[in-house]
Structure 1
Amino acid sequence: MKNFALIGAAGYIAPRHLKAIRETGNDLVAAVDNFDSVGIIDSYFPNADFFVEFERFDRHIEKLRHDKNVQIDFTSICTPNYLHDAHIRFAMRTGSDAICEKPLVLNPWNIDALEHMQEQTGKRVWNILQLRVHPSIIALKEKIARAPADKVFDVDLTYLTSRGHWYYTSWKGDVSKSGGIATNIGVHFYDMLGWIFGEVKENKVHVHTHDRAAGYLEFAKARVRWFLSINEDVLPDDVKSQGQRTYRSITIEGEELEFSGGFTDLHTVSYEQILGGKGYGLNEARQAIEIVHNIRHGKPLGLVGDYHPFAEKKLSAHPFDSKK
């Protein structure tokens, strides 16, 4: 049984980590979050110590190690994107491996610094890249690997996940904290595409506003038109008529990739691989971080070249513009 700590216990994704820790037969020793709405812990580890101040959590981890000879083996990180780097560093400084949600960090050079810290501490950084363990995605990767070596596939990625006005007040609406639309809701798709289709050859941005982003990515074995948005107005009419607020589509050579199911246990599978020393680390995370960094800093070209059809949808004003 391994000892775990959890940073960011009140967030949306934390229950998946709590479930994975329990289902892999391990123990949560301590958790921390600024918010105290963490009753979910009772369903998994009611005896875990909980803190709302990071300083007291830090002191507790040190006291466990020095006074009670209790070592934290893994620290799971479910905090806002811009805090990942600091919390990964904390984990390694206190003698544990880090298991971090995506995006691992916001900038490629953060990975370089973490690599150096891995060498200094002898600890590892693991990234949750759950699409890589999804059965349908694994099957697709195997199918692409069997294709002729010179085959380049045409791919369209569309991901629409509606968000209300709260989004712009939260850290997610602050580009300096979330990395923007492409980082916040797209990084796992870019990682998946790179894992399947290889090295990035070209990265163009056509549209990039507060509520959407669209562009073109060329990988070694794929030409990808992509569109992401958090605005429900861009949802297809048939999706809206059914009362749905999310739409996800990946087509490859015009054929839809079906992967809507099978998400229930992906974090647990990821944890099993990490505990077995076969998880995904810094090197595997790098290409997706480079992609979203370049999208964030790229100048939008407008509707030129091979752009995603949804890029033509009418742009929307920022919901807070009328309040200024």
Structure 2
Amino acid sequence: MDRQRRIWLQASAASLLTSWQPMARASGGWRAARPIQLIVPGQAGGMSDIIARVFGAGTGNDLGERIVVDNRPGASGVIGSYLLSNARPDGQTLLTASSDTHTIYPHFFNNPKFVPHKHVPVATLAFVPFALAVNRNLPVTNLRELIALCKKKTVSYSTWGIGTTGHAAMLAFMRAAGIQDMLHVPFTGSAPAVQALLAGQVDAMMGAIPLISTNRAQLRPLAVMSRDPSTALPGIPTLAQAGLSNAADSKGFWVGLMAPPGTPSNIVSVIAVEAAKVMRQPEIRQKLEGMGAQSESLGPVEFGKLIAEESGRWAAITRDAGVVRQNI
């Protein structure tokens, strides 16, 4: 009888352990059932794409499956963002969002194709400061001379689209410098935008520091749009140091992860923890800092607050700049 009782207890314990394991995984978090689609709403080689691939390559086994980057460029990031809005809220689809898509876009267009505040903030991945650069043939050597030239004649600048960070950053510069007008020349991506500057087709550009620093030999960087100088552009002052004390004072534009509307908090938490772990890795921090970006992961709550604050700031900037919203 004792032997039979021992066998029964052992069988019961084994059965209990087997049934408990999935529950333990569920209570401890979420795991992907298949490879996770990470939508990048921009071209390959852009900053969002680079950061997405750095994050994807750095993830371990905690999510259960690998991350697959899916580039969906077009319409200043709207196409990829729209796809996220219609994805299932199961953690299997994420978006590498940016200030472009979620804090600036709504202030440039009527009838938006997606509603940014319905997406679920997961975590920031990095902050990317911008720098103002000019073609080397433009007769200016510093920011003060550029401002004086802009007040005498029409100076052109390139961006990767209306309502993008490059466009908004230049409007913020113009507002701080008291420049009434510059000629905006939008392109389909950051690569053709900087190529136009290199070729002398436009005079200036406000672009991500990694983009500017890579081409420094052919361009003339004048100032960094952040609160601190950049190690990727040594010797280049911030806008404030160059004389614009009322210029934007921030860490730069953010790149982060968004989940579809209605994604459960337990899934968001698991992915946010993984993002923080990945972005703290020394080799990743070193790689991004070498390009001029700052690796930093804010959690869902802090990320949501950042979006709200930044959206309010850009609402004021675009209003003061007289931006007329376009219908799309």
**Range into which the TM-score falls when normalised by the shorter chain:** 0.3 to 0.5
Q: Larger RCO: Structure 1 or Structure 2 (Cα < 8 Å, ≥ 6 residues apart)?
A: 2
TM (normalized to structure 1)?
0.38
Higher gyration radius (CA)? 2
TM (normalized to structure 2)?
0.38
